[in-house]
């Protein structure tokens, strides 16, 4: 099940809002029965209904899986300085290594 914050991110982006700019304009709370929106002050956008948030469940699940893939890839790629050095020395070997990382960690 997709996290509430991920579904809110998708809702904001679908309504032409920049998530990083809006994250401070809502507050989530969990009293033990699951997270919910306690406060909402996103300018020009009404608080999403449960039905609207539920419509982002599948997309949220995919995005969460892809976040994991991105983190795995980032760790496998290594330091950008090392990559640039590798490219300078042997771009074909670098391409092959990056392709293998991507192939071993596909996104949905």
Domain boundaries, the chain: 4-104
- Model pLDDT, residue 87: 96
Reported as a single tens digit per residue, the pLDDT across 12-56 is 999 999 999 999 999 999 999 999 999 999 999 999 999 999 999
Confidence at 86, pLDDT banded by 50, 70, 90:
very high
Q: How far is the C-alpha of 54 from the C-alpha of 74, rounded, in Å?
A: 30
Residue reference for tokens 């982002």: 56
């Amino acid at each position: 099940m997709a996290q509430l914050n991920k579904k809110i991110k998708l809702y904001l982006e679908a309504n032409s809002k920049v998530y990083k700019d809006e994250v401070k304009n809502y507050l989530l709370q969990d009293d033990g029965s699951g997270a919910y929106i306690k406060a909402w002050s996103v300018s020009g956008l009404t608080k999403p209904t449960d039905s609207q948030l539920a419509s982002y469940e599948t997309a949220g699940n995919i995005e969460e899986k892809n976040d994991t893939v991105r983190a795995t890839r980032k760790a496998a790629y290594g330091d950008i300085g090392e990559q640039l050095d590798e490219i300078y020395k042997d771009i074909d070997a670098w391409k092959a290594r990056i392709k293998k990382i991507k192939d071993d960690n596909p996104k949905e």
